[in-house]
């Protein structure tokens, strides 16, 4: 669930940001942007392809696959279709839920297992067509349950389903030992009438195993690719959900986040993605990292679809004490908060400390701040969170303690033969060739050394996190400037996937909201070098209605989302780039 939870990545990212803030920013010219040119040539061999047809993946092994540009249809009948579009098609008789499921399953075979081999889906639901048939019959007999009735979705492979699918967090250690019950979130989706098509690949154990991991890779699922440019990274840990939704392999999807793992894949894959307030969406039945920061979140191609999905996911759950605080703060319908004029009169604070890691990103964000001001927003610039950089180590300390304790509690409820973090560590050592061919498990080892949650070190770190990110952080700056939301770049264009050295994360803005447990929504801001770049709006606890209103207005203003083209690579050194690849906001696209 986290790209920022690794010590080396986290430290280098923060140092780079601090250096960038004090540097002189060049805003006049970007020669590298002008030199960018997209080329269609074969990418190098890439390891790891999940076998969607395997009924039992105990013996699965990473494979080296020669990538070839195969014949496949670039355009797909259901490209960029929305939930509202599909509900209209159900009424008209154009589609049935069964027909939709069949089309998406065929498209998964065409471009996820073959062609560009995005490799975002780790397992298909063998009961998907049966479920779709039943929902079609129910619609005819009783009418639809709601906006998600018959809608095909994909969910991350750390969310329990009490069916014939595995739930593994991408680890071979959990293959075959299926959960008996649905996670609360999965149950809510089913009750809303959604068709769970399958599970998506992820950064193994939600990117908490190693400090120099590669996002989008798991021992079970192999490597997920970014559908915009296949040698680029989809970010993590909700890599598969981000890539699958962006590639139009489903209508919408569910990811999870501890720090960055909904908003970063949403940014890198050109999606809208919301990390809710911790407690708005139950975590019971989700393989954990940190109960103080974990949450599931909706990911879709439009803010409206995110709002629809959130309405189905949110709810109080006796199995998750954090959701008790959500009573009276949950809305069954978040669509009602969407307003095309939502920017008009909104006071937005610019968190400049989250800028400075990429000059082209800064230029794009500054142009968009100008557009929002023209739309009636009041821009407070800067509106910096004074504690940024002061809670990095304490966040990691909390992770070490909570990971060990929370995994043990999850395994006990699940009834798995794997009962502890120590068991997972031992499995990885015994299966090093399949589980650790590229990176190890140093975070696991450090977590295993920690004591109980009653330890003073843990309690002090948790209290420090909350004080620095809440009362002295987000709440402080929002009170000071009377803000409706804070704004910053979510991240930069997707980096090249590097299994040898691990991720190269230059910067991001997820940290404060993640540690505080506060909401954060990403919306596509534009494209640089043909790669999407996201903008984040975040704020106080339970401010989802306000953030959705602002994000929707921004989305309608810019209309930046462009569907991916599955390019093998982008040659930024060859002259001849076009305006499209020098960078744009995507407005009107």
Tens-digit pLDDT profile for residues 142-184? 999 999 999 999 999 999 999 999 999 999 999 999 999 999 9
Specify the pLDDT at position 417.
93
State yes or no: pLDDT of 65 exceeds 70: no
Specify the pLDDT at position 179.
97
State yes or no: pLDDT of 44 exceeds 50: no
State yes or no: pLDDT of 588 exceeds 60: no
Specify the pLDDT at position 572.
83
Per the annotation, the verdict on 559 as an active-site residue is no
Tens-digit pLDDT profile for residues 497-507? 999 999 999 99
Per the annotation, the verdict on 284 as an active-site residue is no
Q: How confident is the model at residue 520 (pLDDT cuts 50, 70, 90)?
A: very high
State yes or no: pLDDT of 29 exceeds 90: no
Three-class DSSP category at 423: helix
Per-domain boundaries in the chain: 7-582
Specify the pLDDT at position 70.
52
Report residue 163: phi and psi, to 5°. Answer: -135, -150
Cβ neighbours of residue 150 closer than 8 Å, sequence gap 6 or more: 86, 90, 96, 97, 100, 132, 135, 136, 139, 144, 193, 195
State yes or no: pLDDT of 400 exceeds 60: yes
State yes or no: pLDDT of 582 exceeds 60: no
Mean of the per-residue pLDDT values for the chain?
89
Report residue 348: phi and psi, to 5°. Answer: -115, 130
Out of 187, 261, 266, 543, the active site residue is 261
Least confident of 34-48, 231-245, 299-313: 34-48
Q: How confident is the model at residue 575 (pLDDT cuts 50, 70, 90)?
A: low
**Above pLDDT 70, what percent of the chain?**
85
Specify the pLDDT at position 534.
98
Out of 120, 237, 394, 536, the active site residue is 237
Specify the pLDDT at position 69.
53
State yes or no: pLDDT of 55 exceeds 90: no
- Mean pLDDT across 459-485: 98
Out of 5, 120, 156, 553, the active site residue is 156
Buried b / exposed e over 412-442, threshold 16 CB at 10 Å, is eebebebeebebbbebbeeeeeebbebbbbb
Specify the pLDDT at position 71.
63
Tokens found for residue 10: 């986290």
SS (H, E, C) 536-549: EEECCCCCHHHHHH
Specify the pLDDT at position 36.
34
Specify the pLDDT at position 56.
33
Please check whether residue 529 is in contact with residue 33, taking contact to mean a CB–CB distance below 8 angstroms: yes
* CA distances in angstroms from 87 to 94, 99, 556, listed in the order given: 10, 13, 21
Specify the pLDDT at position 68.
52
Tens-digit pLDDT profile for residues 401-445? 999 999 999 999 999 899 999 999 999 999 999 999 999 999 999
Distance CA 447, CA 403 (A): 7
Per the annotation, the verdict on 455 as an active-site residue is no
Specify the pLDDT at position 74.
92
State yes or no: pLDDT of 198 exceeds 60: yes
Specify the pLDDT at position 527.
98
Least confident of 58-62, 65-69, 74-78: 58-62
Tens-digit pLDDT profile for residues 238-250? 999 999 999 999 9
Tell the CATH superfamily of the 7-582 domain: Amidase signature (AS) domain (3.90.1300.10)
Least confident of 34-43, 253-262, 393-402: 34-43
Specify the pLDDT at position 5.
40
> Cβ atoms within 10 A of the Cβ of 78, count?
18
State yes or no: pLDDT of 18 exceeds 60: no
Q: How confident is the model at residue 574 (pLDDT cuts 50, 70, 90)?
A: low
CA-wise closest residue to 413 among 41, 162, 186, 150: 162
State yes or no: pLDDT of 133 exceeds 60: yes
State yes or no: pLDDT of 8 exceeds 70: no
- Mean pLDDT across 191-219: 98
Specify the pLDDT at position 416.
86
- Mean pLDDT across 81-101: 98
Distance CA 354, CA 359 (A): 12
State yes or no: pLDDT of 586 exceeds 70: no
State yes or no: pLDDT of 19 exceeds 50: no
């Amino acid at each position: 669930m986290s790209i920022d939870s690794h010590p080396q990545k986290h430290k280098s990212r923060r140092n780079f940001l601090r250096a960038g803030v004090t540097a002189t920013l060049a805003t006049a010219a970007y020669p590298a942007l002008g030199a960018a040119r997209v080329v269609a040539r074969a990418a190098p061999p890439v390891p790891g392809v999940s076998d969607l047809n395997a009924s039992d993946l105990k013996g699965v092994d990473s494979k080296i696959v020669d990538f070839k540009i195969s014949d496949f249809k670039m355009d797909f009948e259901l490209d960029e279709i929305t939930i509202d579009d599909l509900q209209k098609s159900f009424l008209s008789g154009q589609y049935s839920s069964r027909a939709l499921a069949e089309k998406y399953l065929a498209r998964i075979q065409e471009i996820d297992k073959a062609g560009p081999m995005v490799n975002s889906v780790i397992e298909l639901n063998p009961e998907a067509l049966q479920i779709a048939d039943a929902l079609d019959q129910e619609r005819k007999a009783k009418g639809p349950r709601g906006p998600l009735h018959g809608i095909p979705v994909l969910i991350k492979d750390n969310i329990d389903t009490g069916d014939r699918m595995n739930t593994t967090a991408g680890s071979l250690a959990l293959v075959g030992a299926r959960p008996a019950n649905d996670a609360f979130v999965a149950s809510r989706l089913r009750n809303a009438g959604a068709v769970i098509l399958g599970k998506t690949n992820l950064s193994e154990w939600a990117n908490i195993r190693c400090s120099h991991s590669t996002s989008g890779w798991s021992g079970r699922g192999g490597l997920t690719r970014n559908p915009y440019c296949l040698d680029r990274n989809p970010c993590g840990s909700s890599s598969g959900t981000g890539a699958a939704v962006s590639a139009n392999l489903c209508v919408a999807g569910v990811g999870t986040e501890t720090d960055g793992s909904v908003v970063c894949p949403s940014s890198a894959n050109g999606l809208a993605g919301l990390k809710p307030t911790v407690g708005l969406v139950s975590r019971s039945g989700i393989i954990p990292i940190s109960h103080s920061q974990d949450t599931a979140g909706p990911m879709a191609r439009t803010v409206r679809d995110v709002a629809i999905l959130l309405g189905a996911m949110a709810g109080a759950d006796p199995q998750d004490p954090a959701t008790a605080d959500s009573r009276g703060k949950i809305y069954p319908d978040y669509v009602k908060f969407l307003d095309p004029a939502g920017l008009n009169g909104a006071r937005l604070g610019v968190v400049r400390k989250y800028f400075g890691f990429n000059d082209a990103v800064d230029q794009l964000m500054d142009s968009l701040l100008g557009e929002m001001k023209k739309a009636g927003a009041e821009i407070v610039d800067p509106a910096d969170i004074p504690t940024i950089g002061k809670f990095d180590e304490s966040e990691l300390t909390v992770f070490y303690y909570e990971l060990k304790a929370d995994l043990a509690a999850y395994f006990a409820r699940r009834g798995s033969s794997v009962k502890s973090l120590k068991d997972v560590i031992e499995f990885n050592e015994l299966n090093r060739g399949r589980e650790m061919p590229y990176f190890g498990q140093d975070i696991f080892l450090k977590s295993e050394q920690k004591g109980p949650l009653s330890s003073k070190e843990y309690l002090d770190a948790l209290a420090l996190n909350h004080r620095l990110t809440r009362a002295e952080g987000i709440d402080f700056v929002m009170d000071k400037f009377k803000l409706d939301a804070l704004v910053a770049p979510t991240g930069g264009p997707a980096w090249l996937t590097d299994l040898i050295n691990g991720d190269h994360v230059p910067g991001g803005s997820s940290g404060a909201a993640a540690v505080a447990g506060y909401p954060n929504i990403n919306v596509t801001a534009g494209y640089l070098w043909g790669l999407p770049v996201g903008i984040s709006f975040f704020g106080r606890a339970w401010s989802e209605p306000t953030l959705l209103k602002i994000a929707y207005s921004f989305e309608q203003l810019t209309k930046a989302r462009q569907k991916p083209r599955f390019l093998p690579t982008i040659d930024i050194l060859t002259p001849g780039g076009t305006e499209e690849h020098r960078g744009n906001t995507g407005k009107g696209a």
